[in-house]
Amino acid sequence: MAMTVRFQETGGPGVLRLDDLEPGDPGPGEVLLRIDAIGLNRADVLFRSGQYIEPVKQFPAGLGSEAAGVIEALGPGVTAFTVGQPVSVIPNFSQNDYPQYAERALAPVTALVPRPEPVDAVAGAAVWMPYLTAYGAMVEIGRGRAGDVVAINAASSSVGLAAIHTTNRLGATPIAITRTRAKRQRLLDEGAAEVIVSTEEDVAGRILSLTSGRGAEYVFDAVAGPGVVELARAVAADGTHFLWGAASGQPTPYPGFELGMPALNLRTYSVQEISRNPERLRRAIAFVSSGLRTGAFRPTVDRVFDLEDIIQAHEHLESNTHFGKIVVATSR
């Protein structure tokens, strides 16, 4: 049996409850995991509240797509991993199919990354999604280069911080954007070349002035909504505005016509473009692993909650006061 987080209806953090469930035996292409740590993601909150791009298929529903643990059993035909092996789980599946908020859970073998001994479970749950997301947009798809300028909003999020580190690793210049002045110094400490506090400053104006009027080659936008028109003003000619989150919760207009049809590439982006493509994923794992080896990349863990405190963990995420990844541990 295993304590498992489920919800019977969509809503606020209070809909989450703990049930004692039997996860079942792994089928072909699956493993059974003892989950030691779970990485929280905004997608989990949106899924729980019925606002995610993918709706809940069936109640009671589970949730979660990032974790770290140890393999307890292999499904038929699984030979690439062994029982007892420490692994991380990366998001390449639907939360409807393989929810990870539990003490034990099934996972598809394609979502496993070996976790070397020095990487503990908390780090193993925190590190992959942010860096895979940033790598995919910045390197695999965006083809970012030294000398580029990259503007990153929601920069204190786990993905935003990974984007700052990735930008620096390429020799490009990260401009971090936050609504919260108190996060400014920490963003500079994480490697931001400049920080713009969006509640106090003209964001597009600052980006244009920092780039001598050229604009940023890339904007990594986790907020979207009406603010895209303003941000798109600060994209360099032929630059790319990646929409990779929708934290604003509001409809997103297409800014091209309002801005006089500049050469603007506006692109939605999902980490699953990387995690579901074996060749892209192989390159991504190599890139992230090399950054972890040199210390250029590291998990930035905001706080670790116990599984019993899952409601408080979601409330903390929704408070937006965090800096980096919120992790839930099952066995401390």
Ligand X SMILES: NC(=O)c1ccc[n+]([C@@H]2O[C@H](COP(=O)([O-])OP(=O)(O)OC[C@H]3O[C@@H](n4cnc5c(N)ncnc54)[C@H](OP(=O)(O)O)[C@@H]3O)[C@@H](O)[C@H]2O)c1
The residues of the shown chain that bind ligand X, judged by CB under 6 A, are 41-43, 129-130, 133, 154, 156-159, 178-180, 183, 222-223, 244-245, 247-248, 269-271, 317, 320, 322
Of residues 165 and 322, the one with the C-beta less far from ligand X? 322
Which tokens hold the place of 180? 């919260």
Of residues 32 and 288, the one with the C-beta less far from ligand X? 288
Q: How far is the CB of 194 from ligand X (least distance, A)?
A: 15
Q: How far is the CB of 130 from ligand X (least distance, A)?
A: 6
Q: How far is the CB of 182 from ligand X (least distance, A)?
A: 8
Of residues 105 and 177, the one with the C-beta less far from ligand X? 177
Of residues 153 and 173, the one with the C-beta less far from ligand X? 153
Q: Which residue of the chain is nearest ligand X when measured via CB?
A: 245
Q: Whole-angstrom Cα distance, residue 198 to residue 195?
A: 9
Which tokens hold the place of 247? 């934290």
Q: DSSP of 236-285, one letter per residue?
A: EEEEEEEE---TT-S-----TTTTTS-S-EEEE--THHHHT-HHHHHHHH
Q: In angstroms, what CA-CA distances link 275 with 130, 187, 285, 314?
A: 12, 27, 10, 25
Q: In angstroms, what CA-CA distances link 268 with 8, 64, 241, 245?
A: 31, 22, 8, 8
Q: How far is the CB of 148 from ligand X (least distance, A)?
A: 20
Of residues 2 and 311, the one with the C-beta less far from ligand X? 311
Taken as a whole, the chain contains a residue count of: 332
Q: How far is the CB of 83 from ligand X (least distance, A)?
A: 30
